[in-house]
């Protein structure tokens, strides 16, 4: 996922996580501080902070940086990210992003 706004059309979806951080519901200065913490947390998890998710304060999308795609590496990257995100005290909630199936009606 290249950014919080979306994916390249029909491109493969890499690993990504939605993360809700504590203390980001207030003013813009707080939001800026949270963004910096999000950057640091993403780096620690081996991911890149792709930015805030739409208008949801404190919610960020972390993506796996571009690189070689091997099954073993991907699983290792997933485990590392899960460990870091699950163990960090500032993470209120996190979820790996998976494809949703939606149909036109």
Partner 1 sequence: GLHFNDPKFPQQWHLNNRRSPGRDINVTGVWERNVTGRGVTVVVVDDGVEYTIRDIRPNYSPEGSYDLNSNDPDPMPHPDEENGNHHGTRCAGEIAAVPNNSFCAVGVAFGSRIAGIRVLDGPLTDSMEAVAFNKHYQINDIYSCSWGPDDDGKTVDGPHQLGKAALQHGVMAGRHGFGSIFVVASGNGGQHNDNCNYDGYANSIYTITIGAVDEEGRMPFYAEECASMLAVTFSGGDKMLRSIVTTDWDLQKGTGCTEGHTGTSAAAPLAAGMMALMLQVRPCLTWRDVQHIIVFTATRYEDHHANWDTNQAGFGHSHQHGFGLLNAWRLVNAAKIWTSVPYLASYVSPVLREAKVIPLAPGSLEVVWNVSHADLALSGLRTLEHVAVTVTISHPRRGSLDLRLSCPSGMLSLIGAPRSLDSDPGGFDDWTFSTVRCWGEGAQGQYRLSVRDVGDRESRVGILERWQLTLYGSAWRPQEVEERRRLLEDAMSGKYLHDGFSLPCPPGLDVPEEDGYSLTPNTLKTLMLLGCFAVFWTAYYLLEVCLSQRDVALDLTCGGAPCRRARNRHRALEEGMELEATPLYENKDTEETEGPPDLPNQGSRDQEGTLAPALDLQEVREGPVC
The site for partner 1 (CB under 8 A) is made up of: 1-13, 16, 18, 52-56, 59, 61, 93, 95, 97-105
Report the SS3 class of residue 81: helix
Least distance (Å) between residue 39 CB and partner 1: 17
| In the complex, minimum distance from the CB of residue 61 to partner 1, in angstroms, rounded to a whole number | 5
Please provide residue 39's backbone torsions phi and psi, each rounded to the nearest 5 degrees: -60, -45
Minimum CB distance to partner 1, residue 20 (Å): 8
């Amino acid at each position: 996922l290249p950014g919080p706004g979306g994916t390249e059309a029909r491109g493969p979806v890499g690993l990504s996580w939605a993360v809700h951080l504590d203390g980001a519901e207030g003013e813009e200065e707080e939001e800026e501080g949270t963004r910096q913490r999000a950057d640091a947390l993403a780096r620690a998890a081996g991911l890149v902070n792709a930015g805030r998710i739409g208008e949801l304060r404190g919610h960020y999308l972390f993506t796996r940086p571009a690189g070689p795609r091997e099954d073993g590496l991907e699983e290792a990257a997933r485990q590392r990210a899960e460990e870091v995100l699950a163990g960090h005290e500032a993470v209120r909630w996190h979820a790996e992003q998976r494809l949703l199936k939606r149909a036109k009606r």
